[in-house]
Chain A
Amino acid sequence: MTETIGLWVAALFTIGIYSFLYKENPLYRLAEHLVVGVSTGYGITVTYTNVIQPRFVEPIANGEPGAWILVVPALLGLLYITRFFPNAAWLSRYPMAFLMGAGMGIGFPLSMKASVLRQLEASLIPLYETGMAWDVVIGNVVMVLGTLAALIYFFFSKPHKGPFFGTGSKIGIWVIMVGFGATFGFTVMGRISLLIGRIQFLLGDWLHIIK
């Protein structure tokens, strides 16, 4: 019974969202508002059960040794609420400062590793090895030179003139365009597969027209 009601509710909201393709209407607006409320409610529940309960409520309630220190981050977190009171709003900067400062400090070496060094490492590959297929060899050359050329295109400290910067940036924009096209195509196909999923739900799970 619950499953059938759930199926109808899901189908109703799926149609409600698709009805926006025609024009905005009350069913769409209801679904739109509902998803904001439900997802925030979900967020509250998950945050409470996964963070506040195990990291604060349970250690304090069970009287774990040294658990009292957890009152400090909890009070610090509560300072966020001062944002609602204009005279005390500046206090909300303290929890933000705590998270921002340490977060940036921890993030710096990690960003350096993940976004710069790992990317550079992945670009420094052998272009040719014995037994390598020809399409892989061409691919490796295109990828390595493409990365270099695209970087030159994004380098604005030098005018894009001459054999290195001029030609490099010209090749770079071609590589970037191929990349954008491929990313676009990939994104479209991702959305289309979601669309297929919803149509399958409506025609299969709900109406049983298709199997």
Chain B
Amino acid sequence: MKRSIPLAIVMVGGILFMIQYFIPHQYSQTLFDYYTEWAPLVGAFALVLGVGSLSRLHSHKIKRKAKNWQYSYAVLIPLFGVPFFALIMPESLGGGIMQTMGGDRVTQGVFDFTYMNVQVPIQATMFSLLAFYIASAAFRAFRAKSALASVLLIAAIIVMLGQVPIGELIGKWFPKIGLWILRYPNLGAKRAIALGVGFGMLATQLKIIFGVERNWLGGAGE
């Protein structure tokens, strides 16, 4: 009941939908349509689990006055505030993007405001912060100690310089070499890796369907 039935559901569902792909029949398509209609709805409720878990963690932190507990308010207030304001002011729901109406930029509700002025700049800055760390990591790791390491270093330098104006100052041919590396040898390596990943995915999918891989069951009792 606790393990066998979920495993049986996975096996039956897996085999059924794998076969369904090859049956171009109306019933088969109806089955697929039902799944595609239901799956997002079932999946959406997983968010409740994530939100519940996040709010429990931070409310415990506040209750226990754990280290840096004050910042937990910075998680909890927008966590509930953003959906609250978005749902009571639905006109501010423009998919998070400010809309233009009659030439004016409108829909500056709480939802849009937090999305455009908090989430977007913080996330973009966090990603751009990686430019510094990636550069310092490269400085330490990219030593031309061997022929292979030198190839990696040279390829990286050519691709990087090929994308900025200084590359063209070196020579008109320089950006073309960068592009050629990206387009051919890089694609060759990527394609081999993609094939490996593809075979790995297929093997994992089969392992899950046939119950060999059961980690997804989690530790919720035998």
Contacts and interface: CB of A to CB of B under 8 A. Distances in A.
B29 interface: no
A44 B83 contact: yes
Interface of B: 1-3, 5-7, 9-22, 32, 35, 37-52, 54, 56, 68, 71-72, 74-83, 86-87, 90, 93, 95-96, 108, 111, 113-132, 134-135, 138, 148-149, 151-160, 163-164, 176, 178, 180-199, 201-202, 205-206, 208-209, 216-218, 220-221
A40 B194 contact: no
B81 to A, nearest CB: 7
Given A20-B129, A188-B156, A48 B87 contact: yes
Interface of A: 2-3, 5-7, 9-11, 13-14, 17-18, 20-21, 29-49, 51-52, 55-56, 70, 72-74, 76-78, 80-81, 83-84, 86, 89-90, 92-112, 114-116, 119-120, 122-123, 135, 138-140, 142-151, 153-154, 172-189, 191-192, 194-195, 197-198, 201
B179 to A, nearest CB: 10
Contacts of B79: 37, 40-41, 44
A71 B22 CA distance: 30
Contact of A146 (B135, B156, B184): B184
A32 to B, nearest CB: 8
A52 B44 contact: yes
B115 A42 contact: yes
A33 B126 CA distance: 13
A25 to B, nearest CB: 12
Given A36-B75, A37-B76, A45-B93, A109 B198 contact: no
